[in-house]
Amino acid sequence: MTAAPGFFKPITGSVMPRFAGLATLMRLPYVQAHDPEFADVEIGLVGIPWDGGTTNRPGARHGPRQVRDISTMIRNVNRASGIAPFSLCNCADLGDTPVNPVDLMDSLARIETFFSGVCGAGIAPLSVGGDHLVSLPVMRAIVKQTGPLGMVHFDAHTDTWDGYFGGFKYTHGTPFRRAVEEGLLDPKRTVQIGIRGALYSDAEDTWGQEQGIRVIDIDEFNALGVEGTIAEARRVVGDGATYVSFDVDALDPVYAPGTGTPEIGGMTTLQAQHVVRGLQGLNLVGGDVVEVSPPFDPSGNTALVGATMMFEILCVLADSVRRRRG
């Protein structure tokens, strides 16, 4: 153990006011790869300030900065589950990935390289984007250590479209089709929750269903209820390595208006919290929260939602890391 006792504990608001000091994710220590404490990190929180895959309303590149700021509201213990993630695992803010705002493919390569270093050091990644295309390079890095992933995916959209604008393959609407094609994602261990909204064509969802992806659209979600959805998600992903990806547009826009592709009729924040808590005990190896676009929500409420859902994922991820550690 390189780090001093207490190094990985967040700064408490009773010692330094939440509006003071340098903002880090959940007030955790900022650790870089060359720091001696890096070797002791078990879960790395990372910002991915990039929205080069966005096809309509941009701004998610600003998500990590605002989520960092508002995440000063996060405290140490999940009241509902009792999980205290910062006591279970050494967590740190690893900063932002390098990105290239004028070159999509270069950005994907830079993000993958950054996360390869994180995952290669045995650190479980939890990131905040950024548009949903950023999940693809993160998965590319994780599977080098785990093999193909299962996934619990919260979203209004399946993100399994093939191409845009004359067949361009890399946008925020295509990451999970690419992930399946590249062998990163096991479609038969993938469940998508909250899907809704109008389609470009009747065949839009056909490809994913043909691969075996389990889609729980919003109507089925409401019919199953939270507990039924949790049970189905757990059945689908099983015991294998699993990734959690949370697009804030899974929520109704009354809760998260600051996002690129809002769809009415979504789940509530409380329903989403309950489903994430129901993932405790799965073999979770990483996760992300994406599509927080601060320019579309001057109130900052969407960033608060993003930070809080990130904390909910952190709690179940920390429990999983602890179980693997023994």
Joined tokens for residue 68: 């960092």
**Which parts of the chain sit beneath pLDDT 50?**
none
Instruction: Please give the structure tokens belonging to residue 1.
Output: 């153990």
Report the pLDDT value the prediction gives residue 1, as an integer from 0 to 100. Answer: 63
pLDDT recorded at residue 279: 98
- Residue (of 263, 105, 283) closest to 186 by Cα position: 283
CA-nearest of 106, 46, 103, 2 to 314 is 46
Task: Please name the residues in contact with 278: beta carbons below 8 A apart, sequence gap of 6 or more.
Answer: 226, 227, 229, 230, 233, 234
> For domain 25-325, which CATH number applies: 2.70.98.10, 3.40.800.10, 3.30.70.100, 3.40.50.300?
3.40.800.10
Does the predicted model carry a pTM greater than 0.75?
A: yes
Class of residue 1 by CB neighbours under 10 A (exposed 0-12, middle 13-18, buried 19+): exposed
Return the number of other C-beta atoms located less than 10 Å from residue 263's C-beta: 20
